[in-house]
Amino acid sequence: MARLIIMGPPGSGKGTQAEHIARHFGIPAISTGELFRTHVRDKTELGAEASGYMDRGDFVPDHVTTAMLRVRLEEADAAAGFLLDGYPRTVIQIGALDEILADRQQTLEVVLELNASDDELLSRMLRRAQEQGRADDTEPVIQRRLELYRDQTQPVLKAYSNRGILLSVDGTGERQTITKAAIAALEDALAV
């Protein structure tokens, strides 16, 4: 059973890493950002509610985000574990996730952090903006997302570090090298 979280600043490549790591462990990678983008594409009510926040690089309100995540975690494929990507992003969301898991008599095993320098992050995000044309990858929006990460999400890392379940991996360099290092570190931590 692997119930994991991947964390890292915008542009750290965590979405791609999440896919590879989750495949290795045979669990779904569940990205709240990706769930939102699917809702926006499918023009659902939830998508309409979320899109304004996303376009500005702001957080979607907790009641929307947490309800969406709760529903996703109830799907059958998440019963054997999951790798969460993009949640929790605030200390309040830590508590919400704890509640969702407690209702299911589940706990978190490991939180994996991908590290990268601000320079590397900015250049990766601008490159991704060109490749994928994401509406939330313009410079002011990127700055806003980096600022929210520093102010709101860094404290989440600290909280998990205090719980003794935070694992940090260098997120710079080749994609495959980072994936290997992340998997090795996770296997070590899960074997204890």
The residues annotated with a catalytic role in the active site are: 14, 89, 128, 134, 145
**Main-chain phi, psi angles of 116, to 5 degrees:** -160, 155
- Least spacing, CB of residue 179 vs ligand AMP, in Å: 19
Stretch in the footprint of ligand AMP (CB under 6 A) among 74-82, 84-92, 156-164, 176-184? 84-92
* Residue written as token pair 């992340």: 182
- Least spacing, CB of residue 165 vs ligand AMP, in Å: 18
**Options 24, 47, 59, 100; binder of ligand AMP; rule CB under 6 A:** 59
Which residue, among 111, 128, 123, has the nearest Cα to 167 in the 3D structure? 111
- Least spacing, CB of residue 69 vs ligand AMP, in Å: 8
Which H or E element spans position 44? none
Which H or E element spans position 86? none
Query: How do beta strands 29-31 and 81-85 pair?
Result: parallel
Return the bridge partners of 170, or none: 115
What single-letter DSSP state applies at residue 15?
H
Exposure letters 121-140 (e unless 16+ CB within 10 A, then b): bbebbeebbeeeeeebbeee
**Main-chain phi, psi angles of 171, to 5 degrees:** -95, 15
Q: Taking CB under 6 A as the rule, which mask of x and - marks residues 6-35 in contact with ligand AMP?
A: ----x--------------------xxx--
* Upper half-sphere CA count for residue 11 (Cβ side, 13 Å): 26
Q: Assess 86 for contact with ligand AMP (CB under 6 A).
A: yes
In the region spanning residues 141 to 160, those forming contacts with ligand AMP, defined by CB under 6 A, are 145
Which H or E element spans position 140? helix 139-148
Residue number with the smallest Cβ distance to ligand AMP: 33
- Least spacing, CB of residue 187 vs ligand AMP, in Å: 25
Stretch in the footprint of ligand AMP (CB under 6 A) among 21-29, 82-90, 119-127, 172-180? 82-90
Stretch in the footprint of ligand AMP (CB under 6 A) among 40-48, 53-61, 97-105, 106-114? 53-61
Binding site for ligand AMP (CB under 6 A): 10, 31-33, 36, 53-54, 57-60, 65, 86-87, 89, 93, 136, 145
